[in-house]
Chains A and B, each alone.
Chain A
Amino acid sequence: MWVPELVSNEELSSKPSRSKTQGDQMQYVITAKDLTKTYGDVTAVDGISFSVPAGEAFGLLGPNGAGKSTTMKMIGGVSQRTSGSLSIMGLDPESHGPEVRAHLGVVPQQDNLDEELKVRDNLLVYGRYFGLPMSYLRPKADELLEFAQLTDKAKSKVDALSGGMKRRLTIARSLINEPRILLLDEPTTGLDPQARHILWDRLFRLKEQGVTLILTTHYMDEAEQLCDRLIVVDKGRIMAEGSPASLIREYSTREVLELRFGSERNATIGAELEGIGERLETLPDRVLIYAHDGEAALEQVSARGLRPVTSLVRRSSLEDVFLRLTGRSLVD
């Protein structure tokens, strides 16, 4: 078996002989400093810095066009940065492209399976790109098909699979080389809720096995479910960084009261709601009142004689964090 050259944090801290500085220093599988990518006049990624320790599920959350996919391509060693530094498993993808890519499993935003090949052959062929022998690939392909719940589709053509199945096959394919780092670019975009939950479950299992997950998403629930830590990205820059819970604590209140007064009144009602909750956000279709106690806020609204068409009290989410940070919602 390949033994990762990285030492886990627990191991480090359990060895008193190591110097304190080493103990403090996390073992990062990915380190980016001032990472920048420009296409002509357009700056897609504008000097972002982050580090990811081994085994973490790290997310890049942001709207379409925020620079998430570009960042992923640079981490994936397929797109060269314009400036800044980047290290994956201690290697620079610019000079060691094949070595970096050999460490990774990649699930791209758009499926690029070999539609003309059968499901199982897709896995075999992909494994060959890593120089893996057939004696390893045949049983491994069967194991991964089982993991992806596609065993009974092994001999089908890829065309015959549903969107969710294709996605799972793409994930199975990305695992053929037993990567310790998995890059997932918008893994569940375009899937129905049930298919998403199956996929999340598979990703959880990988996380339990200690695989480092790097994922981009514009779904806040996905980020909350899967990520230990995330960066909120907008226009190529990092707006905030932290665990989902800490970001919500820092940038939002505990609860949110959502009120709809009809599209005409939403815009003008703000003044009448002044003073309720900690913060007020007016959106085209609804008004959000940020408060520690949503129910209490709703009572205050009623006490002022205001009658919203609908009202909803909910927990704060990353969507609210994003709204607070950028003044826009995640999914346009």
Chain B
Amino acid sequence: MTDQSAPAVSDAGGRGPAAPALLRAHSPAVSAARARRWGSFYYAEQVLRVMKGYGWTIVMYGVGQPVAYLFAMGVGLATLVDSQAAFGGVSYLAFIAPALLISAAVMTAANEFTFPVMDGFKWRRVYYGPHASPLTPEQIASGHIMAVTLRFLLQSAIYFVVVALFGASPSGWGWVSVLVATLAGLSFGLPLMAYAASIKEDKGQFAMVMRFIVTPLFLFSGTFFPLDSLPLAVQWIGWISPIWHGTELGRVFSYGYEEPPLLTIAHIVFLVGLAVAGWMLTKRQFVRRLGQ
């Protein structure tokens, strides 16, 4: 390997002085100033490049999964349960469509904010590369979050278009549920990211999160039936669930579901509050762990 390639390199060195004359990096001061201002975006760019590698999976997840659910539940199951009175005067399909949108975002969050974080700190230590560059730990965390937010938006938008084609979003405000789904993804995902960033040893914690947190939340958050049809003993699962708060909010926008305005505000405050708290914890965890 070396014998053939070595002379080629010294040749390149020979004509070197002329070629690199045009090729000059800007000064470290400029690098630092740009990184201070745009660093999060730079890191988001990296995460998006990696995501591009599994872009097809993302699109399929965005289209395939909801279509399957919509058919199975909204069309199939609906033939059995379609008593519009039970679902606030809309079709069963319209009732579950926002719930599936929100749940899909939350499940994506459960993937994007767990394994890749572990990969960053431990498995392939990808965070440590940018950490040696002018980027700060906060920027690495926020860049990661920005890229995933973009995925939420894209995936939810695709989903919304599918739902609209099914005629399951009668309100003109239905598109707002794309933003609601993104918010719900962050409010569930950021506290989880803080937790993922604190894990030093992988003992299958993420599988436990999927099984014992995500799945129950998915089932008991007023997703397939109104929350108040459940006994009080399990209703609390919905109250602490970003999926429930997001779903109720999504229903308000997609078919004008009626609830007290204060409750609508409470949904927003709950989701934003959880996302902000998660972001603060994540930031602290990243600074602490990378700065060791």
A interface list, Cβ under 8 A from B:
1-2, 39, 76, 78-80, 89, 96-99, 101-104, 106, 108, 110, 112-117, 121, 125-126, 128-132, 136, 139-140, 143, 146-147, 149, 173, 176-179, 194, 198, 205
Contacts and interface: CB of A to CB of B under 8 A. Distances in A.
Interface in B49-81: 49-50, 53
B276 to A, nearest CB: 25
B23 to A, nearest CB: 6
Contacts of B129: 108, 112-114, 126, 173
Given A112-B128, A143-B20, A198-B2, A132 B32 contact: no
A194 B2 contact: yes
B229 interface: no
B111 to A, nearest CB: 15
Given A129-B134, A139-B23, A147-B9, 9 more contacts: A2-B25, A2-B26, A39-B292, A96-B32, A102-B35, A102-B133, A114-B126, A129-B39, A130-B133
A146 B12 CA distance: 8
B108 to A, nearest CB: 18
A131 to B, nearest CB: 3
B173 interface: no
A128 to B, nearest CB: 5
List the 3 shortest-distance A-B pairs measured between CB atoms, nearest first. Answer: A131-B34, A129-B133, A102-B28
Nearest to A103: B28
A115 B30 CA distance: 29
A178 B31 CA distance: 11
Contacts of A140: 23, 25
Contacts of B49: 117, 121, 125
Interface stretch (B40-48, B178-186, B234-242, B246-254): B40-48
Contact of B45 (A125, A132, A149): A125
B203 interface: no
Interface residues of B, number: 48
B56 to A, nearest CB: 14
B36 interface: yes
Interface in B86-128: 124-128
A53 to B, nearest CB: 18
A178 B134 contact: no
A31 B194 CA distance: 36
Contacts of A102: 28-29, 31-32, 35, 133-134
B124 A177 contact: no
Contacts of A80: 291
Given A112-B124, A177-B31, A131 B38 contact: yes
Contact of A143 (B2, B8, B23): B23
A140 B130 CA distance: 19
Given A79-B292, A136-B25, A128 B46 contact: yes
Interface string B1-20: 01001101100110000011
Contacts of A117: 49-50, 53
A263 to B, nearest CB: 39
A44 to B, nearest CB: 11
Given A129-B130, A131-B35, A136-B23, A98 B42 contact: no
B48 to A, nearest CB: 10
B5 A101 contact: no
Contacts of A2: 24-28
Contacts of B29: 99, 102
A136 B26 CA distance: 9
A243 to B, nearest CB: 28
B230 to A, nearest CB: 42
21 contacts: A2-B24, A78-B131, A97-B136, A98-B39, A99-B28, A99-B29, A102-B29, A102-B31, A102-B35, A102-B133, A103-B28, A116-B50, A125-B46, A126-B130, A129-B133, A130-B134, A132-B26, A139-B23, A146-B9, A147-B9, A149-B9
Contacts of A110: 125, 128
A115 B119 CA distance: 11
B135 interface: yes
A199 to B, nearest CB: 11
Nearest to B292: A79
B46 A98 contact: no
A129 B42 contact: yes
B128 A132 contact: no
B50 A131 contact: no
Given A106-B132, A116-B53, A149 B6 contact: yes
Contact of A130 (B19, B25, B131): B25
B265 interface: no
A110 to B, nearest CB: 6
Given A110-B125, A125-B49, A177 B39 contact: no
Given A128-B45, A131-B42, A76 B132 contact: yes
User: Which of B38, B127, B131, B292 has the largest number of chain A CB atoms within 10 A?
Assistant: B131
B290 interface: yes
A98 B292 contact: no
A1 B20 CA distance: 11
Nearest to A132: B25
Given A112-B128, A128-B45, A140-B23, A98 B2 contact: no
